[in-house]
């Protein structure tokens, strides 16, 4: 499981946007966003750089 720190998520809409962006990627089985911790855990075999780019493209910063 890949876990990334995501900056800029402040509400449920943000969490949903990150979830949708990551789950749309190939080789991602599921994305679990912890809004309070500011993290996303990614299940599957997705490349970390591809996941980071999807999050950035959705408007958020990966720490």
Domain boundaries of the chain, sorted by first residue: 2-62
CATH number, domain 2-62: 3.30.70.100
Give tens-digit pLDDT for 8-58: 999 999 999 999 999 999 999 999 999 999 999 999 999 999 999 999 999
pLDDT at position 44 is 97
Q: Which two tokens stand for residue 13?
A: 């809409």
Judged by DSSP in three states, 53 sits in helix
Sheet holding 28-34, edge to edge: 28-34, 39-44, 2-7, 61-62
**Which residues make beta-bridge pairs with 5?**
39
* CA–CA dist 43, 47 (Å, integer): 11
């Amino acid at each position: 499981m890949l876990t990334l720190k995501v900056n800029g998520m402040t509400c449920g809409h943000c969490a949903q946007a990150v979830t949708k962006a990551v789950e749309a990627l190939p080789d991602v089985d599921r994305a679990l966003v912890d809004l309070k911790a500011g993290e996303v855990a990614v299940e599957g075999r997705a490349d970390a750089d591809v996941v980071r780019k999807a999050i950035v493209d959705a408007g958020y910063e990966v720490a």
